[in-house]
Amino acid sequence: AQKITQTQPGMFVQEKEAVTLDCTYDTSDPSYGLFWYKQPSSGEMIFLIYQGSYDQQNATEGRYSLNFQKARKSANLVISASQLGDSAMYFCAMRGNFVFGPGTRLSVLP
Amino acid sequence: DGGITQSPKYLFRKEGQNVTLSCEQNLNHDAMYWYRQDPGQGLRLIYYSQIVNDFQKGDIAEGYSVSREKKESFPLTVTSAQKNPTAFYLCASSIDTSGAVYNEQFFGPGTRLTVL
């Protein structure tokens, strides 16, 4: 069975600094994809970034990048130059049965 | 504009009543999903459908029912058998559930159900 673990229930970061949100996963599938979503207080789920298991390079999308370490089964999200609008819940998810982790609440401090 | 609509945004029902949550998409996606989210928690899969007239149970299907009579619509009924129905419900769709590994889910705005 697929499983996603996010060990940080809450994180604080100073505005303009970088922050890393952890995600580890467990799967026996040789081919898989990992997604990160942002959920503001409004409740909508916003797609941020995707990493395929066979991708040779770590994914990047603007201020978001993914630190993918396949051997360690980790796919950590890095947000550079944090902004106040980044305050939200962040979920790591796996393609397949669309398993979601429990989420990390990020708070950006002015 | 293509996307997913869920209505209503807020829904109140008395205990013991069935209630149906609407989900419509105009993205021409084959696959649709229903998730439940409790406060401070992640998403849990209730049901998903890969194609019209077919659907599969997710991790927490008990007390819920769905139908998929049209490609664009996937309504969820919360029955009186669901012991704790108060939650935030999210509908999503994707091109399909198989094939390419990259298969992003697009989410609706959600319906917050409160059972009194």
DSSP calls for A39-82: E-TT---EEEEEEETT-SS--EETTEEEEEETTTTEEEEEE-S-
pLDDT score for B101: 53
- Report yes or no: A95 at the B interface, CB cutoff 8 Å: yes
Which of these, B74, B70, B59, lies nearest to B111 by C-alpha position?
B74
CB distance B1 to B105 below 8 Å: no
Is pLDDT of B102 > 80? no
pLDDT score for B97: 64
Cβ-based contacts of A50 with chain B (< 8 Å): 102, 104
CA distance B87 to B7: 15
- Of the partner residues A33, A42, A102, the one whose CB lies closest to the CB of residue B42: A102
For A17, list phi and psi in degrees, rounded to 5: -95, 165
Question: Average pLDDT for residues A70-99, to the nearest whole number?
Answer: 92
Q: Distances from the Cα of A19 to the Cαs of A13, A46, B18, B22, in angstroms?
A: 6, 18, 44, 37
DSSP letter for B100, please.
Answer: S
Is pLDDT of B22 > 80? yes
- Report yes or no: A47 at the B interface, CB cutoff 8 Å: yes
- Report yes or no: B104 at the A interface, CB cutoff 8 Å: yes
pLDDT score for B81: 85
* Beta strands, E only, chain B: 4-7, 10-13, 19-25, 31-37, 43-51, 54-57, 64-66, 76-78, 87-94, 106-107, 111-115
pLDDT score for A13: 97
Is pLDDT of B24 > 90? yes
CA distance B26 to B35: 19
pLDDT score for A41: 92
Q: What share of chain A in percent tops pLDDT 90?
A: 80
pLDDT score for B90: 96
Which of these, B69, B73, B68, lies nearest to B25 by C-alpha position?
B73
For chain B, what is the mean pLDDT?
91
Contacts of B6 (CB under 8 A, 6+ apart): B21, B22, B23, B24, B89, B90, B91, B108, B109, B110, B111
User: Please, which pLDDT band fits residue A28 given cuts at 50, 70 and 90?
Assistant: confident
- Report yes or no: B10 at the A interface, CB cutoff 8 Å: no
CB distance B19 to B73 below 8 Å: no
CA distance B20 to A110: 42
Is pLDDT of A97 > 70? no
Is pLDDT of A2 > 60? yes
pLDDT score for B56: 93
pLDDT score for B113: 95
Q: What share of chain A in percent tops pLDDT 70?
A: 98
Enumerate residues 18 to 77 of chain B having a beta carbon within 8 A of any beta carbon in chain A: 33, 35, 40-45, 48, 58
Is pLDDT of B75 > 60? yes
